[in-house]
Structure formats: C-alpha cells, structure tokens
Structure 1
C-alpha cells in the first residue's frame, strides 16, 4: 500500500513538470518537497513563509531538512499581522493567513515559470475545520497528498520508508492556533507561547500545546503523560519560567492534548 501511494505521488509530480512548494518544514510539506525534488530536481523550489507565527527554531529545522533533501530553498516574508481580519482572530482566521501566503506565492510562481503552487495538505486535513484550505484552492494551489487520499499516518509511513529521520516529528501548526477565537493576536503573544512550548520540549515533552487564554497558559499533554509530568517536573520552577515569559497563571489541561481542541466551540455554537 505504501509503495503504491509513493508510486502515485511520484507519477503526479512527473505530470506537473515544475512545482513551487509551500514548505513549512512540517512532515507533510517536507514529504511533498522530497518527492518533488526526487522527480523534478532543479525544477522544484521550496519556499518558506517567515512571519512572527513561525519560531526561528522551526525555520532552522525547515532549512536543515531542505538541505538534507537537496531541494532549492528560499524564504519570503508574509504580512498577515498587518491584516486586522487576521489579528482579531475570527473563526476563519486561517483563511486570511493562507490568503496572504498564496497571494504572495502565486505571483512569484508565475514570475519564475512555475505553473503550480503545491502544498502539504493531507487527506485527514479535509475532515477538520480548515478555512485556509479554501483560500489555497481559490488561488489555484494543488494538494497532492489530499488528491491521492494520503493520510497523516501514511505520510509518516512513507517518510520512514524513504529514510527521512523526521518521519515522527510532532505536528506544529501556526502559533496563532494557540489562541481561542476572538482573542487578539499580537507578536508578543505569539513569542510568549512559542517560548513556553520550546521550554517544555527541552524538558523532554514533544507532542504538546501551550494554549493562551489572556494571561493564563494552559498546558496540553497526551493524557498518558500527565501523571508523569506532575511527578517528574519541577512545577515551581516551571511556573517561574512561564511568569518570566509574561504569563500570570499556569494551568494543566486534565483532559489531555487533542489537535484542534479550540475548534470544539464551533460545534457548541451551532
């Protein structure tokens, strides 16, 4: 099954001939970049959008992974923070983020002679509330993983099959996803959340989120790690660190980590 999906993915890129990849450094877009480079060579270009919602550490990882793959990698700056439709954090915030991204990438692709902008949206993403997917589609972007029905699990399996050492890299969506809808997003808040998550990763916890509710930080960990976390981590030291970052209160979500948890308010409001 994995080899079949890989063959289909390879065939798709052979048909594209040239492709510009919207490359975040996540496991999905990195697999897309890998296959694009293997098939197209110098006719593939990976571009990473740099903004306050991307931590420097994430950008460094993306650059290192691109170097390992061999694909040409460039950076562009996006200005979503200048758009009040984005910073006011409405329920369709992601639409304005992806609009800014693809409104920046598409003219660049045309100017460079790339007929397609390709992203890393996978089949599972289509089952969640992702208004950004609509923005990308409206601007003609293609999503090879989703088109071929390749799920997140299959992305990881194919990546491992190809020997990509980051195949099990935790998902790391835009830092703006850490804020409940309606809470204004600022550069300072993005940096505060990002630094808090980096601190927890340095303690050995990789699959996590730090949600920001005003001056309160809510830590989400996989439910099976919560008890160990409470017993193992120096909690007063952790609280002190979070306060240094600018939080007044620090809490632990006893339900545990779940991707897209802040979207549950959308179903409750229906």
Structure 2
C-alpha cells in the first residue's frame, strides 16, 4: 500500500494475500463487485496480471445494477472480466426458496464457474470469503469447500473492517458500500420465487434508496404486503407518501414500516432466515 498504512499487522496481511495469490498458477475470482471481492480481484490482478480473471454471475436474485457495478469495478482494476447468466431459478431449491437454497445456489454456481475455468485453462477458482464470515452461518462455505474453491482473504486472516480500510487506502471506489445479500432473503422460506416478484422487490429497494437511504430492505410477506426496513425509520416516515407510491407502483397491496430499523437476520425471527 505504498507505505500509506500505519498498521503493520494489516500491511502484513495485505502482503500475505499477494503472496498467496502469486503461489497460484492462475486464478478466477468469483466477483460480485462488492467490497470483499473487489479487493480480492485487485490483489489478484496485481499478483497475477493477465493470469487472473473475474467472473460475475447475472441472476434475478440480484438487483440488475449489481452486474453493471461489477463491470465498472473490473474495468477500473484492469482485470479480464466475464459475466455469465447463472439461471438460478432453474434450481428447485432456489425457486422454492427452501431452507437449503444457499447451499444449492453455491453448488450450482460453483459448477458453472469451475466448468468455465477449465474451458479457459484456469487451474483455480477463488472467492471473497473473509475471517468475519466465520462468525455467521454460511451454508455456501460448506459447498465451496466441497468444490475446492479457494479463500485467499480468509487464508491471509483478513476480516471485514480490515478489508474496508485497505480498500480505502488503495483508493478503491465503493470501499464503504454496504453489502447486498441476494433478494431471496427478502422472502419467507417456501415462498415461490419468480423473476417478477424478485424484480419488484429490487426496484422498490432501489427507489427507496434514491430518496437518500443508505441501507434498505423490502421484506415481502405473502398476504400482508411489504415491510420496509432501513437504517433510518424516522426518515422513511417523514417521506411516507413517496415511499408508499414506490411500493404501490411495484404492486405491493400494503406497506409497513419496521420501527426497529435494519438488523441482520430479521426474517429469521419469523422463521424465514434472511439478511
């Protein structure tokens, strides 16, 4: 980091990350465009140059702007970037929003990533799993370990806050952007997912975010409507009419404001895990 970091331990972890990547013949980075995978892609490009590539999946499970954001981030890094359609809703566990959807989704995407990597002559695929992720229930981690996906950030001992700070020091755009879990987490388990319902939730969240909110979740409860959860409930209440118009335009019959504000795992309290 060109001596800009006054934290020797953090600097050592960054250098260890580069060393771990240089030990690989080449690597495909599973690249969402989020903070963790962007730092990993940056490191991979610095360590491996044109022997690194970034692979992004485009899916109804993510807001459509996510793939575009990943494209822009990869362009800034300079790394080769490919976007594949993942067709996630063809997987029954995902389309039915079953409790094992995350595991099934990761297995499905790993198969696609590994097949693409082999076709392109890449020997390894790596993801943005971090030390902080070990504190949470991550079914996808079990799947990725089974599939031989590497975790360089974890191997280097990097946690979420260290990754943000290194990204800031490196001048990486979006280092402070909040995470955006897949849209399936906005629905209770066993609620059938379709491109339409996912699109409505994604557009509603985007519309409310444009009103000036950093973190927005629109939870869909069948038979009730939408529950709006943000980092600023009073701010949402102050813009009640505009928020209601956004939700009604997306077809939600009723809208509710979560007065507690955003909290991870809120759907889990209803027996329907989400983030």
Q: Shorter-chain TM-score: what band? A: over 0.9
The answer on 1:189 being equivalent to 2:194 is no
Which structure 2 residues correspond to residues 114-125 of structure 1 after superposition, within 5 A?
Answer: 114-125=122-133
Give the conservation status (yes or no) of the 8 Å contact 1:79–1:100: no
Question: How far is the alpha carbon of 1:237 from its aligned partner?
Answer: 2.8
Higher percent of residues as helix:
1
Which structure 2 residues correspond to residues 188-207 of structure 1 after superposition, within 5 A?
Answer: 188-207=196-215
Which structure 2 residues correspond to residues 1-270 of structure 1 after superposition, within 5 A?
Answer: 1-214=9-222, 216-222=225-231, 225-231=232-238, 233=239, 235-264=240-269
Distance 1:265 1:137 in 2: 30
Question: How far is the alpha carbon of 1:162 from its aligned partner?
Answer: 0.8
- Which runs of 4 or more aligned residues in structure 1 lie more than 3 Å from their structure 2 counterparts after TM superposition? 263-268
What stretches of structure 2 of length at least 5 have no aligned partner?
1-8
Give the conservation status (yes or no) of the 8 Å contact 1:18–1:43: yes
**Which shifted more, 34-43 or 170-179?**
170-179
Distance 1:24 1:258 in 2: 22
RMSD: 1.7
Distance 2:272 2:246 in 1: 35
Question: How far is the alpha carbon of 1:264 from its aligned partner?
Answer: 4.2
Give the conservation status (yes or no) of the 8 Å contact 2:189–2:272: no
Give the conservation status (yes or no) of the 8 Å contact 1:178–1:210: yes
Q: Secondary structure at the match of 2:110?
A: helix
What stretches of structure 1 of length at least 5 have no aligned partner?
none
Question: How far is the alpha carbon of 1:51 from its aligned partner?
Answer: 1.4
Q: Secondary structure at the match of 2:23?
A: helix
What is the TM-score when the length of structure 1 is the normalising length? 0.93
Question: How far is the alpha carbon of 1:229 from its aligned partner?
Answer: 3.0
Give the conservation status (yes or no) of the 8 Å contact 1:221–1:256: yes
Distance 2:250 2:227 in 1: 14
Distance 1:94 1:83 in 2: 11
Q: Which residue of 1 aligns with 2:4?
A: none
What is the TM-score when the length of structure 2 is the normalising length? 0.91
Question: How far is the alpha carbon of 1:136 from its aligned partner?
Answer: 1.3
